[in-house]
Amino acid sequence: MITARTLVLSSAAGLMALGGAQAADLPVKAKAVEYVRVCSLYGAGFFYIPGTDTCIKIGGYLRVDTTFNGGAHGAPAWNSDLGQQNRYRDYFVSRSRMALTVDTRTATEYGVVRTFGQGDFQFTNLGGSSRNPNLQATNLGNNPQLLDTAGNGYVAVEYLFIQFAGFTFGKSSSAYSTPWNGFPGNINSSLLGGNNTDTGVNNIQYTAQFGNGVSASIGLDDPTVWNRTAVYNLGIPSAISVNGTGSNAYAGVHTPDIVGNIRVDQAWGLFQLSAAAHEVNASYNTLGAGGVPTALSEISGHPETKWGGSVMAALNIKNIPTGPGDDIKVDVSYAKGTTKNVIATSGTSPSFAMFGDSGFGYQSVGFGATTDGVYMPGAGGTGGIVLTTAWGVRGAFNHNWNPYWSTSLFGSYSAVRYDGGANDNLLGAGTTSAKGAYCAAFALSHPGQALAGNAAGNYTCNPDFNVSQLGVVTRWTPVKNLTFSGEVQWFHLDQKMSGSSVFAATAPKPSALYEFKDQDTVLLQVRAQRNF
């Protein structure tokens, strides 16, 4: 009886287990697959992030640049080893870059909320052809030039911003800038003559649209990285180096730059007026060599802070009769105390030290120091910061030969002026002007300056200078989004020193007789770029 009951229970348990196994094998209805949907609200390339109402676009480009007789991305040979034309300079320099952009947009009751970011993954020649690679044996800090070693490279950050209800927060092009920034037709990032914030500056700005293409923007830009050149304290030891430049004595940032524009953007083109206000402040009256503070700096006081500013007018004329898509872009700038809005590149503002041939000296040399202002403390000094004046004009004519070929002719002219007369530093005249103070400091490392009543002087000092650029670029686009470009650029430094001096130039140059003379250089830049 027990055996029979056990058999029955065992059979029932087996049937139950079998039934459960069969139930588990039955097909279960799968969740619906959420396919990626195209978002047509904001143009081609956008799609909805699954499960949200936010549209996203991922894009960018891959670019390879090579510059002959210049720095990375088309910088002329206007200083450092390239300016000296010595044996440490690279005859060419290449940069490989992949730019990755992420653009998101969401429609809300306040309008579109947008975020945008761009990171550049890139590798350049060590030193960027602008400094002695033998002095860079170690990777120190985050200096990007020191990360360009075998198997290395770095990521650079360009735009990172949020837009909401007319406001922009983050790293973006300044409200002062034109839509083309420093690129009216060129591919190089060193066309001087006006403002350029093409890789973004930290700012807050607001844009109001008035209809019919009329708008106005106002913003606050952080000047710490982008909007300053230098303030020279001409009273410190060795205030002016043998290359005509000084140590930066800017104080910390106290206030943002105030910027804005009024723009008319219509089918015929664009017209824009921009203005900016910039604080120029210095650290201390007493500083050590190189501009470093000493135990006497704080009690020595400081010059009074001054405000500088700049204005710019820009014009873009479209649909000109030379061909479909042809246009002209031009902008004119004037600045006092904010020289970065005239002598501007995609990076820092350059100062110039160029060497060439001479008819009687060891070589000729041309200097140009880029500053926002200078000061000389003490009796007979400048009485405070004297702001530097600068103005410039640049532009381009862009022509399409056919859908595959295009050419741009571009150029610029810039001028930098120091207050006062060329002879303000002569005996008995004092050093109360910017020119007088600069030339008094310059004479300490460059003997032979002409003095009052001394016709035997070897040179006349004048730190003013002009720079000119002229270039042409031709592009070939064999297939969509793939372009090959070749650009030739001429750069001219018109310096205002005259005569000659025996001085110890920066090594490897010798101590010798150098003639002060205008300088020229030419470069070639070639590029291959694939947009995606």
pLDDT, one tens digit per residue, over 25-52 is 555 565 555 678 999 999 999 999 999 9
Contacts of 501 (CB under 8 A, 6+ apart): 446, 447, 448, 449, 458, 459, 513, 514, 516
Contacts of 384 (CB under 8 A, 6+ apart): 303, 304, 306, 375
CB atoms within 10 A of CB 504: 12
SS3 for 403? coil
Q: Give the largest Cα separation in the chain, rounded.
A: 141
Handedness of CA 440, 444, 446, 448 (dihedral sign): positive
The pTM of the whole model exceeds 0.85: yes
Q: What is the DSSP letter of 140?
A: -
**502 - beta bridge partners?**
513
| Domains of the chain, start order | 35-70+95-165 (no CATH), 173-531 (2.40.160)
Contacts of 245 (CB under 8 A, 6+ apart): 230, 351, 353, 367, 369
End-to-end CA distance of the chain: 83
pLDDT averaged over every residue in the chain: 90
Q: Which helix (H) or strand (E) holds 11?
A: helix 2-24
Report d(CA 348, CA 177) in Å as an integer.
16
Answer for the pair 249, 233: CB distance below 8 angstroms, yes or no. Answer: yes
Report d(CA 331, CA 183) in Å as an integer.
11
**pLDDT value, residue 432:** 79
The residue ranges of the chain whose pLDDT is under 50 are 1-24, 129, 131-140, 427-428, 453
**Cα angle, residue 71 at apex, residues 66 and 73 outer, rounded to 5°:** 55
Residue-level length of the chain: 532
- Rg, Å, the chain Cα set: 31
Q: What is the distance of C-alpha 260 from the center of its chain?
A: 19
DSSP output for 32-92: PP----B--TT-TT-EEPTTSSEEEEEEEEEEEEEEESEETTTEES-SHHHHHT-TTS-SE
Closest by CA position to 93, among listed 76, 122, 78, 73: 73
Report d(CA 294, CA 493) in Å as an integer.
37
**pLDDT value, residue 4:** 45
Contacts of 452 (CB under 8 A, 6+ apart): 423, 426, 427, 428, 429
Report d(CA 408, CA 269) in Å as an integer.
18
